[in-house]
Amino acid sequence: MKLYDTLSRQLKEIEPQRPPAVTIYTCGPTVYDYPHIGNWFTFIRYDVLARTLKASGLQLKWVLNITDVGHLVSDADEGEDKLEKGARREGKSAWDVANLYTDYFLKGLERLNFTKPDLLPRATEHIDEQIELIKMLEEKGYTYKIDDGIYYDTAKFPQYADFARLDLDEQQAGARVEHNPQKRNPADFALWKFSPADHQRDMEWDSPWGKGFPGWHIECSAMIHKYFGDTVDIHSGGIDHLPVHHTNEIAQSEAVTGKPLAGYWMHTNHILVDDEKIAKSAGNGITLEDIESRSFSLEAFRLLVLQSHYRTQSKFSWEELEAARTRLQGYKKAADRQWQAQKNGKVSADDVEWAQEEIRLALQSDLNTPIALAKLDAFFGAVEAGGIRIEARQAYVNLLSFVDALLGLHVSDGTDISDEQKELIASREKARAAQDWSAADGDRQKLQEQGIEINDTEHGPIWYRAS
């Protein structure tokens, strides 16, 4: 399997440190509000990564963290903690807000049929590990103290700008005084923030430097170190994490270990809603509930996500979601053919196995979901036109299960129609043969009332469930 690695800017073969085991760390949600579809786009991409690695014969250990403290309103360590902001907005404690939106996120994973990560650790459960990592950085001379906290001195890490290819001179020239004049360099970031003197925070802990809370970036480094050691095989996150969060993770971790933080870096691109970036001010922060309120299934939304490549700037519109729903209906219609294999069917077991391998290869080539879906469309088109041979039925059933396992859809979930419904189809055929159109129409209407439609083909009647 090949994956595009952000660090090398190359498509690389996945070679885990200890095959067949492969480790993944994914930057999870900051649980201060409801996630919007842009967030879910990103997480669905990671789910496809996990599914494809498993289908490639690898044994997955996947950690997806929950950021429930330390993420400030500005990634540049300015403003208040997002959890504190959420608490003030809702009149609850930061702990209550974190629990509310963590629970919502976990239920969202289930609603969207995610592969369950092996671990979903919370930042607040790993304060000791974060403090220990900051102490190691302090011992190595990478930290300094100013009025509001302990900061990482990026000048001590010469390769700081390499990963994101940052222009630090430009950052220095553009720095504003209000961006904390005590910082030695504009890119320096907080490892530990001190609690304010004039009030008590909901979330704060004792530390060697005083009462406070960890910065956002240190949590990921600490969790990777705890669960994977010095290096994780694949580190995934959104492209917005590249210039700050992931760059800071590398600086923290590699300053301590002297080893690469990750073997491969996977970054998902932004999405646009009606050609605009997602923003509350634009009123386009669409949620899963918004989708369902318009009578769309979350399965159709998942298919919409898969229709674009994770490294492209994807687009969402209600028209595109409608098209995804229609496409999904076509897949389920094709899946109903598993119960209707024919002696004179055109699609053989070899055809099925070839299609399955083509879909697998598309996903193993940098998770190319658009190509995988195009291969699936072409194959289902052949099934619709020619039918499945009886001896190919089991291979077809296997392919449907394979598609569900790789793409997280529920294409294969249908069941055969009842014996009574089959008798109605046979009765209709006899009526058609006798040119008793009234009786034939009556049988068709009975089937339609039970959600079964009929297509009359040269190979005989083909039923499918009405959507």
pLDDT, tens only, 396-418: 999 999 999 999 999 998 899 99
* Cα–Cα distance measured from residue 70 to residue 123, given in angstroms and rounded to the nearest whole number: 8
Amino acid, res. 145: K
Report the pLDDT value the prediction gives residue 467, as an integer from 0 to 100. 74
Mean pLDDT of 54-64: 97
* Cα–Cα distance measured from residue 111 to residue 288, given in angstroms and rounded to the nearest whole number: 9
Report the pLDDT value the prediction gives residue 17, as an integer from 0 to 100. 97
Note whether 227 and 118 are within 8 A (CB).
no
Percent of the chain with pLDDT over 90: 87
Among the listed residues 184, 255, 176, 244, the one whose alpha carbon sits nearest the alpha carbon of residue 215: 244
* Cα–Cα distance measured from residue 133 to residue 253, given in angstroms and rounded to the nearest whole number: 8
Mean pLDDT score across all residues of the chain:
93
* Cα–Cα distance measured from residue 297 to residue 42, given in angstroms and rounded to the nearest whole number: 18
Percent of the chain with pLDDT over 70: 96
Report the pLDDT value the prediction gives residue 279, as an integer from 0 to 100. 66
- pLDDT band (50, 70, 90) for residue 172: low
Residue 315: count other Cβ atoms within 10 Å of its Cβ: 14
Mean pLDDT of 53-82: 90
Per residue in 315-368, pLDDT (tens digit) is 999 999 999 999 999 999 999 999 999 999 999 999 999 999 999 999 999 999
User: Given the structure tokens 């930061």, which residue do they identify?
Assistant: 94
Note whether 204 and 211 are within 8 A (CB).
yes
* Cα–Cα distance measured from residue 285 to residue 77, given in angstroms and rounded to the nearest whole number: 24
- pLDDT band (50, 70, 90) for residue 178: very low
Whether pLDDT at 432 is above 60: yes
The better pLDDT of the pair 80, 153 is held by 153
Note whether 426 and 298 are within 8 A (CB).
no
- Report the predicted TM-score, pTM, of the whole model to 2 decimal places: 0.94
Whether pLDDT at 457 is above 90: no
Whether pLDDT at 212 is above 70: yes
Angle between helices 419-433 and 437-449 (to 10 degrees): 160
Please state, in angstroms and as integers, the Cα–Cα distance from residue 256 to each residue in 157, 208, 250, 395, 415, following that order.
11, 19, 10, 52, 56
Report the pLDDT value the prediction gives residue 175, as an integer from 0 to 100. 47
Report the pLDDT value the prediction gives residue 181, as an integer from 0 to 100. 87
Backbone angles phi, psi at 330, to 5 degrees: -65, -40
Q: DSSP characters for 273-316? A: ETTEE--GGGT----HHHHHHTT--HHHHHHHHHTS-TTS-EEE
Please state, in angstroms and as integers, the Cα–Cα distance from residue 179 to each residue in 53, 184, 197, 318, 363, following that order.
43, 11, 20, 40, 44
Report the pLDDT value the prediction gives residue 16, as an integer from 0 to 100. 98
Q: How many helices (H) and strands (E) does the chain have?
A: 15, 17
- pLDDT band (50, 70, 90) for residue 128: very high
Among the listed residues 261, 346, 269, 280, the one whose alpha carbon sits nearest the alpha carbon of residue 305: 269
